[in-house]
Amino acid sequence: MARRNISLPDDLDEQARRARLNVSALAQRAVADELDRRERMAKLDAWLDEMDVALGAPSAKGHGQRPQMVRLRH
């Protein structure tokens, strides 16, 4: 297993120690969750691109009527 160093503000580190948190496990889960989120966003963007090709891009008026269709890229 690879080893990484992470930096935490002193107060956050102290709180984690007092709470007896397994910071390594929390970091692993956070990284895994972020990678999963990015994969799902990429798949959604690809699907939206397919819909733009098949149906045409939504108009500005359509964006106002259906805000859930507005794409957020990161």
DSSP 2-70: --------HHHHHHHHHTT--HHHHHHHHHHHHHHHHHHHHHHHHHHHHHHHHH-PPPHHHHHH-GGG-
Q: Does the pLDDT value for residue 28 go beyond 60? A: yes
Mean pLDDT score of the chain: 87
Q: What's the mean pLDDT in 21-40?
A: 97
Q: Residue 73 — pLDDT band, cuts 50, 70, 90? A: low
Entry pTM: 0.69
> Tell me, what's the pLDDT at 9?
97
Q: What's the mean pLDDT in 3-24?
A: 96
Q: Does the pLDDT value for residue 67 go beyond 80? A: no
